[in-house]
Amino acid sequence: MSTLFGVNMEDKPKQSPTQTTLRQPAQSSSQQPTQSQTPQKSTSTTTPKLSYEEIDRLYRTGRSLQKLSRHGEAIPYLRRAAEHGNRLAQYNLGYCYYHGRGVLRDYYEAVKWFRKSAEQGYSNAQSYLGYCYKIGRGVPRNYSEAVKWYRKAAAQGHRDAQEALRKM
């Protein structure tokens, strides 16, 4: 018996590559279903929402693996937590891309994750983003953007950002 994702494929109707499905004619706006009549999409094909505790557990697992220099193993945990909005995971994933730890070095990807974390107020990410703008790594060189991000980090007491501002 042939199964795919738990579905018995032998029970599925066969459709030849030349068969096409006829499209329904467009409905006028008066015939359009209202929002309450519109069927809801199944959530089985979307990424399930994780609880705060699950996201935190993913981050902590990834971070623990990073500390053991098992960067390649840490990436999937950090990525999943980062994709669910964990600012520390976003920063650490950006750090991995910036330094090529567990992934190929990719400054553009690093900046993407630093920005997500920085926009949530994480000072380390703000400082790194300022540095990227200062030297033009992963983004075009832009001193005003560098100063903007350094100031945000410095306002939170980030010493490297404070020092960078003094030198600019």
pLDDT at 67: 96
pLDDT at 76: 98
Residue 10 pLDDT greater than 70, yes or no: no
Residue 153 pLDDT greater than 80, yes or no: yes
pLDDT tens for 30-39 read 444 444 343 3
The CA distance from 131 to 22, in Å, is 56
49-167 to CATH, choices 3.30.1300.30, 1.20.1730.10, 3.90.79.10, 1.25.40.10: 1.25.40.10
Q: What is the 3-state secondary structure (H, E, C) of 104-134?
A: CCCHHHHHHHHHHHHHCCCHHHHHHHHHHHH
Task: Indicate the range of 12-21, 41-50, 142-151 predicted with least confidence.
Answer: 12-21
pLDDT at 49: 87
pTM: 0.71
pLDDT at 47: 61
Q: What residue spans define the domains of the chain?
A: 49-167
Residue 93 pLDDT greater than 50, yes or no: yes
Q: Which amino acid is at 73?
A: E
The CA distance from 74 to 67, in Å, is 9
> What percent of the chain is predicted at pLDDT more than 70?
72
More confident residue, 29 or 47: 47
pLDDT tens for 53-76 read 999 999 999 999 999 999 999 999
* Residues facing 7 on adjacent strands: 4
pLDDT at 161: 97
